[in-house]
Structure 1
């Protein structure tokens, strides 16, 4: 290993600490060692989706790795040169395709040639942003920063069956500064209830609860029935389109959870964000930070500091010469500003 090895303690957060470290290692060429991977989770160490992210990152940049096996709580990663091209990665479970993709994207944007990546696994997983969130909320902002990325959902994959697939085309791009501190004018809103292999009443009850609690009319409510072979699965998506930002909130059906409670979970997330006056909610905040740091600057407002945001800030500042300032603007609005230190 090279002398300049960044040492990380994975206990400061979950899988995001590892994913951010992989992204940053690839783009900076700096090696890292991480211990106590996901130490505080109920199943610590590398799960299938984390291992897929490690192996995918290693393939994209020809890295030398050790400790890459299921359950491993320690890993070393020494990156090589980033390359573009055609890549296919299979998680083999309902582990999140979107989180594997987000690990690779910063490097692929800096590759010397275009890339096409297909990833199979879970596209709609309760512990990760669903594909709809990436395509409607995160990627439009990445494109405004200059990122040339197209995402296609080929097949839905729910927990526990998986079997979903996404395809992504990435053109080499240079990211530039983005500031998202205000939402701007409200443009539209909609609720989408997706079901696969379940009774149609599930979606109807979720949408009825949305109509009842938010006073939305029928034209803003849509039920989509997917191929039963993709199920069983259910997700409710609430989309709010504003002038400067689109937010997507999701909640997933579970065997022991009433449809109304699923709707309530998504509604409560949205209500918390709307009440705050902040531009981006907590998941989007997590995922804007790294691209802004790579761009050398940017800012956004979000309702509050979260554990994910705090650990992500810590990892980014280990790899990049950036300063990340957090300033409270009232009781439930926090302004995050990223700037280069030299």
Structure 2
């Protein structure tokens, strides 16, 4: 695989640092590495593959140099301004913000699900929402074989999904210290409130899952609903997913389909208390599935429990996998 020049925008943030960790672990072929951040973090140093790199302040001219791929994780406003600038200079941007996800000209990609979509990029590729990414990986083989009619998401999302402030709010709350990042105390509590509420009563997080699912599967007739909940867990999101299919299935066959799926690990032995948990999935790149059982309330329904590290597969690892796709298809 040829070596390329890579930039990280938001290099000192939680996802930005995980970009670097995943790139290093996966031995991504980097010739030159450029790290960009806000003025606040500019000048700090980061170690990558045993070499120290200085972090530069992001500005409109940093992409004038020879860069093939840029991984963005610095928020929607930064992406909205700088991703088009980078793309105009021949850089392929993989953006982790929500800004471009529903843009019809921007592919929304989970490599295990719709890898070919990267070929349609016009300079920007969007990383889906973390909770959407982990759902898509096991849903893909089931949709291929049984055709999904309806999906009901109920999520249990870790505070790391809110960044370092979310983690701090949980840690301080557990100590009995006053907190104020979330609308209510998160320690020892569950908040059915992720992102802001919209006029229809859904939160933006819930609408992201609904709309992104339909876009990734390219099926706007699919019925999707969601309730997203922030829970007092440090890292890794958990999801209860109820699926209704058009086609009938045998449960043993469906479990085998999940076991054979790329990126899925089935942990499903309830009699021995074996099922995925957030702690067990922390630091891993796979999506873990358990509690697979038929939904007897409909003709062709199943319940699954899905857990994944939201900072890795839900963000950084997925973006790096997209960058690997770009190289494998010779698109940079």
TM-score in same-fold range (> 0.5): no
Higher RCO structure, 1 or 2 (CA under 8 Å, sep 6+) = 2
Q: Give the number of the structure whose residues are more often strand, by fraction.
A: 1
TM-score normalised by the chain length of structure 2: 0.30
TM-score normalised by the chain length of structure 1: 0.30
